[in-house]
Amino acid sequence: MAERVRADALRNRERLLTAAATAFSRGADVSLEAIARDAGVGIGTLYRHFPSREALTEAVYRTELAEVAASAEQLLDRHPPAIALRRWMDRYAEFVAAKRGMAESLRMVLDSGAVEPCDTRAAILRAVELLLSAGAADDTLRADVRADDVVSSLLGISLASRSGEQAQRMMDLLAAGLMAR
């Protein structure tokens, strides 16, 4: 019989993932000790859950990817498609920001084959397709837009923008271009 994970161990793991995602979004020079401290646990607890920086990076990445992909449906449950899409773009920008801070560790995870870039792209494409389809169905978003074009545009914005404010303006422009006429 598989051993059940204690509730406090699950809470600690979640706190570590949250602290790591926050730290990684601020920058690459984050110590594991600082992440443990921010999560309110000892460094030994961090290493019991994540034996290396790469293991922590992979867990943060997988968690963030699942959350950003799932957020499309959640946003559609609460908002009209055009608004849901724009809010999802903000959530996606947060996901990309977190990846910047863990770039070197993430590169090692990708090189190891533990995470496949095509899996990431597929999850993001499914989320955008869901949002675009809902908007096309209610005639608020253009029906001729391909999800791959939106994702590529969002990646371009994240690479080209020099500030969060500029990224917001550029995403507003992209969202306006997706509106049905």
Q: What is the pTM of this model?
A: 0.80
Dist. CA 62–CA 120, nearest whole Å: 9
Contact predicate 54/128, CB 8 Å: no
Spatial CA neighbour of 48 closest among 5, 18, 13: 13
Spatial CA neighbour of 99 closest among 63, 71, 74, 48: 63
Q: What is the pLDDT of residues 40-64, one digit of tens each?
A: 999 999 999 999 988 898 898 889 8
Q: For the chain, give the percent of residues with pLDDT over 70.
A: 95
Contact predicate 95/140, CB 8 Å: no
**What domains, with CATH codes, occur in the chain?**
1-51 (1.10.10.60), 53-178 (1.10.357.10)
Model confidence band, residue 2 (pLDDT cutoffs 50, 70, 90) = very low
Spatial CA neighbour of 69 closest among 132, 122, 107: 122
- Helices 103-112 and 81-101 cross at an angle (nearest 10°) of 90
Q: What is the pLDDT of residues 157-178, one digit of tens each?
A: 988 888 889 999 999 999 999 9
State the pLDDT at residue 5. 63
